[in-house]
Structure 1
Amino acid sequence: MTENPSHLPPSGPFLSRREALQATAAAAALATWPSASEAETSAAPAGAGTSAAAVPAVTLTMTVNGRAHTLTIDPRQSILDVLRETLNLTGTKKGCNQGACGACTVLVDGRRIVSCLTLAAMHDGSRIETIEGLEKDGALRPLQEAFVEHEGLQCGFCTPGQIMSGLGCIAEGHAGSPEEIRFWMSGNICRCGAYPGIVAAVADAAGRM
């Protein structure tokens, strides 16, 4: 009697349903996996293989604390960085470097600015005054003396910016009262909390000046 073919075991390797599904999933994953060359290409940073375009330097002249300087600088440099890194005038402090604390305040053409946010390339021909330029022949400015007398400092990190801002505040005519001084000096932060002495010093110096 001939055996019914439908009852014969299948020829060749036999795959269960689970094995078949696993094999299908593996094949699909392999098909979408990038080749080694594709992976290297996608991992490479944009612009890789090409040198970054150099930023051309600019030449400008600044008068800093009464002394003229002709400088060749990166146009992306701030006044703060030029003062500290090129001219070695480190009295002006880099605090937040975001224009929020006032530690880097200097006077540019008589106006107070936060030098960390001010591009030096935009101030060709400007007159800049920093904390180093205040003392003359060993004599302090009235505001500097007032800061000492009224203890308007503790750690001293913010003091250069406070003094330069105080000079600007007085020159602008905004030192008529403690309330006015507090308002117009609010951009200068003292993390030690020496505000009463700072306000008293600016008020005292305004009277002397």
Structure 2
Amino acid sequence: MSITLKVNGEPRTVDVDPETPLLWVLRDELKMTGTKFGCGIASCGACTVQWDGMPIRSCQTFIGDLDGAEITTIEGVDGKAASAVQAAWQELDVPQCGYCQSGQVLAATALLEETPKPTDEDIDAAMDGNVCRCATYARIRKAIHLAAEKMEG
């Protein structure tokens, strides 16, 4: 089945089974390997991308449900919130192994686009389900607060 979607602002058409998870279309068909496979059951967040600005788990989102959708991956995330998140991540050395970071960055960016001045509770709710095997949660929270400050200034 031929499915067209916009990935990082660029129209892309793929011919795959409509029940193929978006993760595998991104990685195998479009060769965009920044989105990671973690658990395969939408529990870890490593595969997080944005669908029309909202974070979703690409390992459990079927390509057949996305015809015409706008998808943003770590390769294409941009804008004021994304820049602030990326700068804060670097400034605070958030990543350790880095495996989960594409999903963490996309979730944090979506949070700041929706809630520019998040509380700890907002951050916890938005980042819930994004697992970091290296347990950098305190640095992630601190970086989100720093990114919010950077967006103001």
Confirm or deny that 1:72 pairs with 2:2.
no
Q: Distance in 2 between matches of 1:207 and 1:156?
A: 24
Give the Å deviation of 1:191: 0.8
Preserved CA contact (<8 Å) 2:116 2:148: no
Judge conservation of contact 1:175–1:181 (CA < 8 Å) in 2: no
Structure 2 length normalisation: TM-score?
0.91
* Higher RCO (CA < 8 A, seq sep 6+): 2
Q: Give the alignment partner of residue 152 of structure 1, picking from 77, 84, 94.
A: 94
CA distance in 2, matches of 1:175, 1:104: 25
Which one of 30, 35, 39 corresponds to residue 96 of structure 1? 39
1:203 match: 145
Deviation string for 1:119-157 (max 9, x for gaps)?
Answer: 011110011100011369xxx722111111112110000
Structure 1 residue runs of 5 or longer lacking an equivalent are 1-57
2:69 is equivalent to residue 126 of structure 1: yes
Which consecutive residues of structure 2, in runs of 5 or more, have no partner in the other structure? none
Structure with larger Rg: 1
Aligned length: 149
> Deviation digits for residues 78-112 of structure 1, max 9, x if unmatched?
11010000000000000001100000000011111
Report the equivalent of 1:169. Answer: 111
Secondary structure of the corresponding residue to residue 75 of structure 2? helix
The DSSP-based 3-state class of the residue aligned with 1:62 is: strand
> Partners in 2 of 1:67 and 1:180 — Cα distance?
32
For 1:143 and 1:176, locate their aligned partners in 2 and report how far apart those are by CA, in whole Å: 13
Note the aligned Cα RMSD (angstroms).
1.6
Dislocated runs of 4+, deviation >4 Å: none
Answer yes or no: is 1:179 the counterpart of 2:121: yes
2-structure distance, mates of 1:112, 1:201: 18
Give, in whole Å, the separation in 2 of the partners of 1:124 and 1:132.
20
Cα deviation, 1:166-197, whole Å, max 9, x if unaligned, reads 11111232752223212321110101010111
Aligned-partner Cα distance in 1 for 2:77–2:67:
22
8 Å Cα contact 1:175/1:202 also seen in 2: no
CA distance in structure 2 between the partners assigned to 1:207 and 1:109 by the alignment: 25
Q: 1: distance between equivalents of 2:113 and 2:2?
A: 31
Aligned to 1:107: 50
**Do structure 1's residue 84 and structure 2's residue 33 form an aligned pair?**
no
> 2 CA distance for matches of 1:110 and 1:174?
15
Q: Is the Cα contact below 8 Å between 2:96 and 2:134 reproduced in 1? A: yes
Distance 1:110 1:179 in 2: 21
* Distance change (3 Å), C-alpha of 1:193 and 1:135: same
Instruction: Say which SS state the counterpart of residue 106 (structure 1) adopts.
Output: strand
